[in-house]
Amino acid sequence: MTKLSVNINKVATIRNARGGNTPNLLQVAQDCELFGADGITIHPRPDERHIRRADVPALRAVVRTEFNIEGYPSKEFMDLVLKAKPDQVTLVPDKPDQLTSNHGWDTVAEQEFLREILDDLRAAGIRSSIFIDADSRMAEYAAKAGTDRVELYTGPYAEAYSRNREQAIEPFVETARRVRQLGLGLNAGHDLSLENLTYFTDMIPWVDEVSIGHALVCDALYLGFEKTIAEYKKCLIKK
């Protein structure tokens, strides 16, 4: 069964809007685990507009499921994750001022850079994942760089889902098959929701993990975290 990692960036955004510690990020992470989440994902950005650097060791101390940290591998980011030693680090090609992750790595052009970063993560015993577009060539060069997994950027799938879901999923199935042939683990994330998640994992049932934040937190405003996580987990059950 595909695992669900809950991205809690948006919870931190709400907390930071007023200062103080409401909502309590650590409690939300622990509650998500209690309600069935298989992991917790965070993305500490340089401007700390949601997750702050100080949140990382605090969360590391309380998260009992898989802890996944996303980010661009600057020196500051690498210093942070090598000290925290999460279960997984997902490398994204975001610029410091980028609003959200909206494209994958060019693993051909960035081959040498990524190889050095992946070597450091491997030496620290941290599983690595590279954020890529649905492109088999990008998956092949991610494997050459030495990553353990790739994470498919699912924004284009989500955007096209309501128009033609069969066409929307096609490049993702093709890339996912190549990822499996390469012997890599497979993650997916960005704009996955209760509307489109079931079909995605029905068509690619060997996805190891989905990371979902924005849609899940929005649903939780209406349903509460316990029911929301149960609904997302239900989407991942394959008969």
pLDDT at 32 over 80: yes
Q: Which tens digits make up the pLDDT trace of 182-225?
A: 999 999 999 999 999 999 999 999 999 999 999 999 999 999 99
| Residue 86: predicted pLDDT | 98
**What percentage of the chain has pLDDT greater than the value 90?**
94
Tally of structural domains, the chain: 1
pLDDT band (50, 70, 90) for residue 238? confident
Active site residues: 43, 70, 190
Q: What is the mean pLDDT of residues 121-143?
A: 98
Q: How far apart are CA 50 and CA 132, in angstroms?
A: 23
| Residue 193: predicted pLDDT | 98
Q: Which tens digits make up the pLDDT trace of 74-106?
A: 999 999 999 999 999 999 997 666 556 678 999
Q: How far apart are CA 226 and CA 133, in angstroms?
A: 31
Q: Is 20 left (phi over 0), alpha (psi -120 to 50) or beta?
A: left
Please report, as a single letter, which amino acid is at residue 224: G
**CATH assignment at residue 24:** 3.20.20.70
Domain residue limits at 44:
3-235
- Write down the H helix ranges in 23-182: 25-34, 55-62, 75-84, 111-123, 136-145, 155-160, 165-181
pTM strictly above 0.85: yes
Contact present, 154 and 191 (Cβ < 8 Å): yes
Say which range, 4-8, 10-14, 102-106, has the weakest mean pLDDT: 102-106
Indicate the angle between helix axes 225-235 and 25-34, nearest 10 degrees. Answer: 50
pLDDT at 120 over 70: yes
Going by C-alpha positions, the residue among 20, 16, 21, 23 that lies closest to residue 217 is 23
Q: How far apart are CA 15 and CA 11, in angstroms?
A: 6
Q: How far apart are CA 174 and CA 73, in angstroms?
A: 28
